Amino acid sequence: MSWIPPLLVAIPLLSAAVTAGLDHVTPEPVQDALVVAASVATTAFAFVLLWHAENHEVVHWFGGWQPHRGIALGIDFAVGPLAAGMCAVIGLVVTLALLYSLTFLREAARLFDALMLVALGAMCGFAMSGDLFNLFVWLELMAVAAYALTGFQVERLGPVQGAVNFAITNSLGGYLFAVGIALLYARTGALNLAQIGRTLSHGPAGGLVIVAMTLLLCGFLVKGAVVPFHLWAADAYAVAPAPVCAVLGGVMTDIGLIGVARLYWTVFAVPFGHGHAVGDVLLWLGIVTAVLAGTMAFLQRHLKRMLAYSVVCHIGIMLAGVGLLDSSGLAGAELMFLAHALLTAGLFFVAGILHSDHGLIDELHLRGLGRGSWAPAMAWFAGTIGLVGTPYVGIYLGHGFIDDGATELGRSWVLPLLWLGSALAGAALLRAGARIFLGWGDAEDELLGKAIEEDPLERDVLRPLLVGVALAAVLIGVAISVAPGLGQGARYAADRFRDTGGYAARVLHDRAMAPSTSLPVSVSHTSLESLLYGGGFTLVALGLALMGLFSSRLPRALFVAAERTLAPPIRVLHALHSGVVGDYVTWVVVGTAVTGGVWALLLHG
Amino acid sequence: MSRRIRIAVLGPALLGLGALFAWAIAGLPAFGDYRGPYGYVLNRVVVPLRHTTNVVMGTTFDVRGVDTMGEEFILYAAVLGVMLLLRDETRSRQAERRTRRLPSDAVRLVGGLMVGGGVLVGLWLMAFGYITPGGGFQGGVLFAGGILLLYLVGSHRDYRPFRIVHALDPLESLGAGGYVIIGLAALASGTAFLTDLLGLGTAGTLRSGGSIPLLNWASAIAVSCAMLILFAEFLETYVVPLEPEDAGS
Amino acid sequence: MSYLPYAVAAWICLVGIVGVATSKNLIHLAVSLTVTQSSSYVLLLSVGYVRHGVAPIFVGTKLGTTAVDPVVQALTLTDVVVSVAVIGLILALALDAHRLSGTVDPDGLADISG
Amino acid sequence: MLAATLVPLQAVAFGLVALGAPLVVLTRDPLRQALVNGIYGVSLVSLFVVLQAPDPALSMLVVSGIGYPLVILAAVARVRGHDREEKGEDR
């Protein structure tokens, strides 16, 4: 079955070329059908691949350049259950986004479709690739497609600014990554990840490897929008069309995390796996990201900007899961990715529906306008509850697994911080939902800053299709926590993913794997602690949402005191997210230098 | 942040990054001492195994051929993106009929010679890239530059012929898509993606390297068209600032 | 000479970043970004250089002659294409920005923030 | 013999590149910068040549000789053209 992996890249890329190339000669319905069919076929093959990857890595050596005595010359796609699962979710989200855009974006539809398919192929290639430079190629390919898609609405300045900030920070991240590749190549003379890892097992790691790791991982963290590399994300996601946001926020941001995990467990676990320094830095970055982005989400009134910060917040939680460096944490990150991708996509779809119904995207402007839109309201609230992590809904199972991992490592203090992050982001979304769909709350809110300029768009949409797609995304996402067998499967996938030596043996020597025992197919249970945290922080989210809605009804003294203590830090937060690309670039450099410095201190000696 | 604060933050950060670079450099093999296995092996096996005398091109189109497929699509996606981003501008200006002053005969003669040179060298680079230095990308850019120059020094008064380049769109897609099709053809025949299906031929001749010439031509077509479209998108509406009184001359 | 080439690459990278972070013009910024990227070519090719090595093109050179690393050259080729793609997109965005706001100063472009 | 002359050549090429980069960045006027960037490109080409990398050198040559200048100059021309139109309206 080793012929499947290249198809996940070849089908979307070829379809993109056909779509764009035959723009003027093929009737529109045929084109639409082709685009959706390509995306569905890619998704279907990803599921087949998932099934085949169960018992051994599906490895494909391009051009038939098999490794010779453990020396890899060619480029390989090595697909375990985790990578295959990623591809399946990526395919699913892109398919939903393409269906959504059938009527949502008619203008320049062919260019849009082609770029979406290119992004799909690039993301799948990235998830599967086992070659360091090949990762860079897919990273740049998806980035180039995403920059253009972000600036889609060229008639307004916001999208252009968002795309500029996105393009410049991510390109810089990519170039730092390229320097990291050159350093690692100089040290090991290899580009295959398994082989680099094996070469690094000889001799001391030294400063070069630490610096190379810093540059490579920070390159991915820019893509993954982790604090302080996250500043571009809100600008870009606030302005891209809703289906693009669904893909960027739902799956493309998470790609950075797949990259971090892949590089760590194939390469850097070899020299640094005995200690916990690498993981601790990732853990801390994750915690800070979760709490800071959760707070920022709560301070937004622009729905898509709010969702963007919610994405960043969940990225933080997932990064913390990866940073625990054990199977529970990684499995938790996987499960959270599954739920978060679909729920986030669903919420962006709902935001798009509101925008096309009312021409508004501001929470306060939309107050009460969503009354009577039952289906979008249901999708919004279900998605929101799923993103808070209410027990056995949406991201809960992932949260629970990360809790287990942290507790096993004796770091239970991590738990409340991560739950706080998702509760803050969830509270913001709940508040917005209550205001829009129920008409609750005040019409003004000092906390949320000045009104945004609205951008009404004339759209002739097929509303039932949009609503159907949004509901489908949310329903699948909500069900992730109670899908039988998924938890066990994720843990098994994480075990396989973390098996550095086994991966190298299977990729470089085609070594067979011991047949796995069949996994129980039942709903995974979580610890009592997670249950309590999940329940408790759902209440916290509800309370915060209510406080946001009715802040003016708080006792006067309390209100003044709260404002006096909270206003200055909030001003600082707003000022840091300045929208100016020079600042963002500066923070990328600061983040890289500090991360590298910390690793230098912890790992050297 | 104000510019002054930004620079104050950036300075120390850059020092830190520089220190990291210095630390990494201290661990590199001294200049010229590199003996990594990957390139060493390729220098010995690519010519006998693939009959391409240019090992770099053998690496680009065969050993690491899928990187190059990604690279073609990076350029392809960028061109689609530029078309997407500049569609408003193009639309608003398309309505205006624009004319320009024709270049003098001397300019046209020199330009014409350069066009011929550019196009010929471009084609030569494309054709012999896998034997001697060159290849689809370099040839493609040069070829596109030559054609563009032909337009600039040519006797077209009207800017609208530039719209013709949009006929290049299908051709560009053919180049990029062709790369994938060649890969898929190998997959369909039961071997790995992008495996050579043709014979290897004699090293040093045009019929060498199996699929490499095909891939090279696919990328040459894709790059030529991509660069032409890119230039056209940027130049279409603004080649030389036009003074109103020149319009009729 | 033994570590100077790498230092040059690092220097170019830092200089380019300064240009990107302090630029007042998106066109200037895009060019500075390509300068940053050129550091990766310089580093790659310096790393792959082998003393007394010939170019890895075996026309009139006997197979087995010491040659420089061909892999870094293949990577550089890809990198150059990436830089063309990125500069094209950023300049297109710069034109859009100028059409809409009349400025190409990234600092003056902050339409949304917070 | 060849090797003996190569080392100083390489040193010169590296020096030119190291000098060229800050010149490109410090040239704030885009039109002039396009020119300086072209010269920097040539210095990179010469460096690639002395590093025995003819393929990247050719690639860099066509990119910095044709690719970059055309798109940069077109962008500069358009921006200036817009500005001129606007100034014209003000008058």
pTM value?
0.94
pLDDT of residue A37: 97
Single-letter amino acid, residue A494? A
Q: Which of residues 71-110 of C touch A (CB under 8 A)?
A: 71-72, 75, 78-79, 82, 85-86, 89-90, 93-94, 96-97, 100-101, 106-107, 109-110
In contact, A232 and A225? CB cutoff 8 Å: yes
Type of residue found at D85: E
For A129, phi then psi, to 5°, come to: -65, 145
Q: Which residue of chain A is at minimal alpha-carbon distance from C17?
A: A585
Helix axis angle, A396-408 relative to A486-498, nearest 10°? 50
Handedness of CA A290, A292, A296, A299 (dihedral sign): positive
A with D: touching (≥3 Cβ pairs within 8 Å): no
User: For B15-38, what is the mean pLDDT?
Assistant: 93
pLDDT value at residue D54: 92
At A308, which amino acid appears? A
Report which of A108, A107, A104, A112 is spatially closest to residue A461, judged by C-alpha positions. A104
Q: Of D57, D16, D15, whose CA–CA distance to D40 is shortest? A: D16
For residue B240, pLDDT over 60 is answered with no
Q: How much is the average pLDDT of B19-28? A: 94
Query: A129 forms bridges with which residues in the sheet?
Result: A77
Q: Which residues pair with A61 in a beta bridge?
A: A76
* Number of Cβ within a 10 Å radius of residue A540: 18
Chains that touch B (3 or more CB pairs under 8 A): A, C, D
| Confidence (pLDDT) at A400 | 94
The whole-angstrom separation of Cα B40 and Cα B24 is 23
Q: What's the pLDDT score for residue B7?
A: 92
pLDDT digits (tens, 9 = 90+) for B29-84: 999 899 889 999 999 988 888 888 889 988 998 899 999 999 999 999 999 999 89
Where helices occur in A299-413 by DSSP H, the ranges are: 303-323, 327-358, 374-388, 396-408
Mutate to test the interface with B, among C78, C87, C105 (most CBs of B within 10 A): C78
Helices (H) and strands (E) in chain C, counts: 3, 0
B178 touches D at CB < 8 Å? no
Q: Mean pLDDT, to the nearest integer, of A371-394?
A: 93
Which tokens hold the place of A317? 């939680």
Q: Do residues D76 and D34 make contact, with C-beta atoms less than 8 angstroms apart? A: yes
Rounded CA gap, A318 and A414, in Å?
A: 13
- Average pLDDT value for residue range D72-91: 69
Residue A164 is encoded by which pair of tokens?
């500029």
In this predicted structure, what is the pLDDT of residue D85?
61
Q: What is the tens place of the pLDDT at every residue in C76-105?
A: 999 999 999 999 999 999 998 888 888 888
Pick among C96, C101, C105, C107 to test the A interface (most A CBs inside 10 A):
C96
Cβ distance of A175 and C40 shorter than 8 Å: yes
Residue A439 identity (one-letter amino acid): G
Query: Among the listed ranges A259-268, A446-455, D82-91, which one has the minimum average pLDDT value?
Result: D82-91
Q: What is the pLDDT of residue A222?
A: 96
In angstroms, the CA A92 to CA A474 distance is 12
Query: Residue A566 CB: number of other CB atoms within 10 A?
Result: 12
Q: Which residue has the higher pLDDT, A415 or B93?
A: A415
How many CA atoms, within 13 angstroms, populate the side-chain half-sphere of residue B119? 13
* Banded pLDDT at B244 (limits 50, 70, 90): very low
D51 touches chain C (CB under 8 A): yes
pLDDT tens column, A281-317: 999 999 999 999 999 999 999 999 999 999 999 999 9
Quote the CA–CA distance of C48 and A185 in Å, as a whole number.
9
- What pLDDT, on the 0 to 100 scale, is given for residue A404? 94
Q: What is the pLDDT of residue A518?
A: 76
Report the distance separating Cα A592 and Cα B64, nearest Å: 30
Average pLDDT, chain C: 90
pLDDT in tens, A457-514: 767 788 899 999 999 999 999 999 998 989 999 999 999 999 999 999 999 988 877 7
Q: Which long-range contacts (CB under 8 A, 24 or more apart) does D79-87 make?
A: D79/C27, D79/C94, D79/C95, D79/C98, D79/C104, D79/D30, D80/B241, D81/B238, D81/B241, D82/C98, D82/C99, D82/C102, D83/C102, D84/B241, D86/C102
3 state SS of C54: strand
Mean of pLDDT over chain B: 79
On whether the CB atoms of residues A63 and B63 are closer than 8 A, the answer is yes
When pLDDT is averaged across residues A364-379 and rounded to a whole number, the result is 91
Q: Which residue has the higher pLDDT, B156 or A306?
A: A306
- Helices then strands, each counted (H, E), chain A: 24, 2
Instruction: Summarize the confidence of residues A441-446 as an average pLDDT.
Output: 79
Q: How far is CA A403 from CA A331, A411, D90, in A?
A: 11, 9, 64
Does A56 have pLDDT greater than 90? no
**pLDDT band (50, 70, 90) for residue D4:** low
SS3 A148: helix
The partner residue sitting opposite B13, judged by closest CB among A7, A134, A593, is A593
Which residue do the tokens 């949402």 mark? A545
Check residue D82 and give its pLDDT.
66
Shortest distance between the Cα of C26 and any Cα of chain A, in A, equals 9
User: Distance of CA B67 to CAs A561, B128, B179, Å?
Assistant: 59, 21, 12
**What pLDDT digit, counting tens, does each position of B89-146 carry?**
665 554 444 555 566 677 677 777 777 777 888 888 887 776 777 788 888 898 888 8
Which residues make Cβ contacts (< 8 Å) with residue B165, sequence separation at least 6? B228, B229, B232
Q: Which of A154, A300, A582 sits opposite C96 (nearest CB)?
A: A154
Residue A77's H or E segment, with its range, is strand A76-79
Q: Which chain C residues are within 8 Å of D86, Cβ to Cβ?
A: 102
Candidates D55, D59, D76, D82: best to mutate against B (most CBs of B within 10 A) is D55
Six-digit token string for B152: 């600039």
pLDDT at B239 over 50: no
Nearest to D25 among C16, C77, C83 (CB): C16
Record the tokens describing residue D29, joined without a space: 């006027």
pLDDT tens for each residue of A99-135:
999 888 777 788 999 999 999 999 999 999 999 999 9
Spacing of C-alpha B226 from chain mean position: 7
* ipTM summary value: 0.94
Burial of B124 (0-12, 13-18, 19+ CB in 10 A): middle
Amino acid in the structure at residue A152: F
CB B82 within 8 A of CB B90: no
Q: How many C×D Cβ pairs under 8 Å?
A: 122
Touching subunits of C (3+ CB pairs, under 8 Å) are A, B, D
- The SS3 call for residue A22 is coil
Q: At A78, which helix (H) or strand (E)?
A: strand A76-79
Least confident of A482-491, A550-559, A570-579: A550-559
Tokens representing residue B243 in the block:
């003074």
Contact C35 D24 (CB under 8 A): yes
Could you tell me what percent of chain A has a pLDDT over 70? 99
Q: Tell me, yes or no, if A554 comes closer than 8 A to chain B by beta carbon.
A: no
Residue B201 has pLDDT above 80, yes or no: no
What pLDDT, on the 0 to 100 scale, is given for residue B134?
75
Are C86 and A167 a contacting pair at CB < 8 A? yes
For CA atoms D55, D56, D59, D64, the dihedral sign is negative
Q: What is the pLDDT of residue B245?
A: 37
- The tens place of each residue's pLDDT in chain C, 114 residues long, gives 688 999 999 999 999 999 999 999 999 999 999 999 999 999 999 999 998 888 998 887 787 788 999 999 999 999 999 999 999 999 999 998 888 888 888 887 766 666
CB within 8 Å: C16 and D11: no
Residue A413 pLDDT: 92
Q: Bigger pLDDT: B208 or A283?
A: A283
Residue B171 pLDDT grade (very low, low, confident, very high; cuts 50, 70, 90): confident
Task: Find the closest chain C residue to A581 by CA distance.
Answer: C106
Q: What is the pLDDT of residue B242?
A: 39
Residues in Cβ contact with A568 at an 8 Å cutoff, skipping those fewer than 6 apart? none
Q: Which chains touch D (3 or more CB pairs under 8 A)?
A: B, C
Interface of B with D in 52-71 (CB under 8 A): 54, 56-57
Interface check for D58 against chain B (CB to CB < 8 A): the answer is yes
Q: Which one, of B81, D83, B230, C114, lies nearest residue A305 by Cα?
A: C114
- Report DSSP letters for A256-321, one per residue: HHHHHHHHIIIIIHHHHTTSSHHHHHHHHHHHHHHHHHHHHHHT--BHHHHHHHHHHHHHHHHHHH
pLDDT of residue B92: 58
Whether C11 and chain D come into contact, CB under 8 Å, resolves to yes
DSSP letter assigned to residue D63: I
Q: Say if residues C9 and C47 touch (Cβ distance below 8 Å).
A: no
Q: Note the pLDDT of residue A74.
A: 92
Within a 10 A sphere around the Cβ of B66, how many other Cβ atoms?
Answer: 28
Asked whether A87 and A122 are in contact (CB, 8 A), the reply is no
Q: Which residues of B touch D53 (CB under 8 A)?
A: 56
Q: What is the pLDDT of residue C112?
A: 66
Mean pLDDT of A400-408: 94
**Confidence (pLDDT) at D5:** 65
DSSP letter assigned to residue A381 = H
The one-letter amino acid code at A240 reads A
Percent of chain A with pLDDT over 90: 71
Q: What is chain C's alpha carbon radius of gyration, rounded to the nearest angstrom?
A: 19
Residue D27 reports pLDDT greater than 60? yes
